Homo-oligomer: A and B are copies of this chain.
Amino acid sequence: MQIKELGEFGLIDRLTKEFPIVNKSTELSVGDDCAILDYTGKKTLVTKDLLLEGVHFDLTYCPLLHLGYKSAIVNFSDVYAMNGKPKQMVVGLGVSSKLCVEDLDELYAGMKIACEEHGVDLIGGDTTASLNGLTISITCIGEGEEGKIVKRSGAKDTDLICVTGDLGAAYMGLLLLEREKEVFNAGKGSDPDFAGKEYLVERQLKPRARKDIIESLERINVVPTSMMDISDGLSSELLHICKASHVGCRIYEDRIPIDYLTAQMAEEMNMNMTMAAMNGGEDYELLFTIPLSMHDTFKALTEVTLPGVPRPDIKIIGHITAENLGARMITRGGGEIDIQAQGWNSLKE
Enumerate chain A interface residues (CB-CB to B < 8 A): 3-4, 6-9, 11, 27-28, 31-41, 43-50, 52-56, 78-79, 81-82, 84, 88, 90-95, 123-133, 135, 137, 139, 141-142, 144, 149, 151-153, 227-229, 244, 345-349
With known contacts A4-B348, A52-B94, A348-B7, A46–B32 Cβ distance under 8 A: no
Q: Which residues of B contact A144 (CB under 8 A)?
A: 36
Using CB atoms, name the residue of chain B closest to A141. Answer: B46
Q: Can you give 9 contacting A-B residue pairs, CB < 8 Å? A: A8-B345, A11-B347, A33-B81, A34-B47, A38-B43, A38-B44, A52-B94, A52-B130, A137-B137
Apart from A34-B46, A38-B43, A139-B139, what are 4 other A-B pairs with CB-CB below 8 Å?
A8-B347, A27-B43, A36-B82, A131-B133
Q: Which residues of B contact A228 (CB under 8 A)?
A: 33
In the complex the two chains form, is B90's CB within 8 Å of A135's CB? no
Q: How far is the CA of A111 from the CA of B37 in the complex (A)?
A: 25
Which residue of B33, B36, B132 is within 8 Å of A133 (Cβ)?
Answer: B132
In the complex the two chains form, is B37's CB within 8 Å of A43's CB? yes
Q: How far is the CA of A345 from the CA of B126 in the complex (A)?
A: 12
Q: How far is the CA of A165 from the CA of B132 in the complex (A)?
A: 35
A157: shortest Cβ distance to chain B, in Å?
A: 21
In the complex the two chains form, is B79's CB within 8 Å of A34's CB? yes
